Amino acid sequence: MPLKRSFRCAYTPPPPAQRNPDQQRILVRAYARGLRFVNIDRRLMEEANPGDLEAAIMAVAHFAEWNNAYSHLGRSEEPMELLQLVI
């Protein structure tokens, strides 16, 4: 799980109880801030927009799998040669 160490140490699973939507939103934001990679937390909030912590965890796991699979393709970003660009 791509979490910062401070979040992993601070998070303890709560007892099963009902949370109101504001509590869920605050918990998801805290989880997103605790993520190690900025691109994953940005995608989490923009694309997935999870309603609770469990959905956020599942979305991050999906994004992490996608990033891992994409990295195995062996592609690397190369800067574009602007001098060769013909308009």
User: Does the pLDDT value for residue 19 go beyond 70?
Assistant: yes
> What is the pLDDT, as a whole number, of residue 39?
79
User: Does the pLDDT value for residue 70 go beyond 80?
Assistant: no
C-alpha 34/C-alpha 9 separation (Å) is 11
> What is the pLDDT, as a whole number, of residue 13?
63
Q: Cα dist. 50→26, 56, 59, 85 in Å?
A: 12, 5, 8, 41
Residue 53 tokens read as: 């912590």
List pLDDT tens digits, range 34-45: 887 777 878 888
